[in-house]
């Protein structure tokens, strides 16, 4: 199932914090996500806090239990892994 969302960034602290919310949606009535990045001696700790509400009444509640919770968790996991890799990316040393 493909779910397309449009979000807007409501707070940004470069390399530290990103907060965004759902701008419009069909299946999701609301979505708010906060991502924080914290450098550590061993890399970067990425933390995520997300809250969402489904629309479509009872059908939405059933979809949430059957599909959406798992799909959204998987999507957030891939997103956070990619973000961590970007945060820890180092340019290769240039040789002359």
Model pLDDT for residues 35-88, shown as the tens digit of each residue? 998 988 888 888 999 888 877 776 767 777 777 777 778 888 888 888 888 887
Across the strands, what pairs with 21? 8, 32
**pLDDT above 90 (res 31):** no
Across the strands, what pairs with 13? 17
- For strands 43-54 and 28-40, give the pairing: antiparallel
Phi-psi region of 12 (alpha: psi -120 to 50; beta: other; left: phi over 0): beta
Q: Count the Cβ atoms, other than its own, within 10 Å of residue 24.
A: 10
For 6-88, which CATH superfamily applies? START domain (3.30.530.20)
**pLDDT above 70 (res 91):** no
HEC assignment per residue over the chain: CCCCCEEEEEEEECCCEEEEEEEECCCEEEEEEEEEEEEECCEEEEEEEEEEEECCHHHHHHHHHHHHHHHHHHHHHHHHHHHHHHHHCCCCCCCC
Q: Where are the domains of the chain?
A: 6-88
pLDDT of 93 reads 66
């Amino acid at each position: 199932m493909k779910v397309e969302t449009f979000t807007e960034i409501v707070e940004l602290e470069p390399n530290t914090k990103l907060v965004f919310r759902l701008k419009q949606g069909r299946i999701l009535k609301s979505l708010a996500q906060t991502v924080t990045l914290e450098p550590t001696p061993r890399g970067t700790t990425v933390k995520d806090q997300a809250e969402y509400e489904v629309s479509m009444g009872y059908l939405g509640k059933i979809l949430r239990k059957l599909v959406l919770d798992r799909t959204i968790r998987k999507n957030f996991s891939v997103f956070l892994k990619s973000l961590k890799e970007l945060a820890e990316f180092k340019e290769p040393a240039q040789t002359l």
